[in-house]
Homo-oligomer: A and B are copies of this chain.
Amino acid sequence: MEIRSKLWIEIDGKPVFGRGRRFLLEAIDKYGSINQAAKEINISYRKAWGYIKAMEERLGIKLIERQTGGRHGGGATLTQDARNFLKKYEALEKGIQGLVDERFIQIFNTKEL
């Protein structure tokens, strides 16, 4: 029996940002490529692309600077807005998981129900 928790941000009831998208942005920052980033976090490029599209539409902010074509095919980098947002989300998430785990063990760690 394991406890799981999830944290995300919505706009008009639709998901805009969460752990998965956080990892995606972080990986794009690391690799300079949506494609590479998707591989890193084990999702298809298609899915990553969909995430980015939805995020940008819903937030109304450009998160990723894209370049198609070129010597190495192009690439992608985070905008400053994306970096700022990411930083805030990281701060929001920090510590929550630990708290939840701690409480779960405290409450459920008994043999009988």
Interface residues of A (CB under 8 A from B): 1-11, 16, 61, 81, 84-85, 88, 91-92, 96, 99-100, 103-104, 107-108, 113
User: Quick one: which of B5, B11, B100, B108 contacts A1, CB cutoff 8 A?
Assistant: B11
A1 to chain B, nearest CB (A): 5
Q: Is there an interface contact between B84 and A113, defined as CB atoms closer than 8 Å? A: yes
Q: Which of chain B's residues have a CB closer than 8 A to the CB of A16? A: 1
Is there contact, CB below 8 Å, between B113 and A85? yes
Chain B residues within 8 Å of A8, by CB: 3-5
- Known interface pairs A96-B99, A99-B99. Does A5 touch B6 (Cβ–Cβ under 8 Å)? yes
**Distance from A2 Cβ to chain B, minimum over Cβ atoms (Å):** 5
- A61 nearest in chain B by CB position: B113
Q: Which one, B2, B6, B92, B113, contacts A108 given CB within 8 A? A: B92
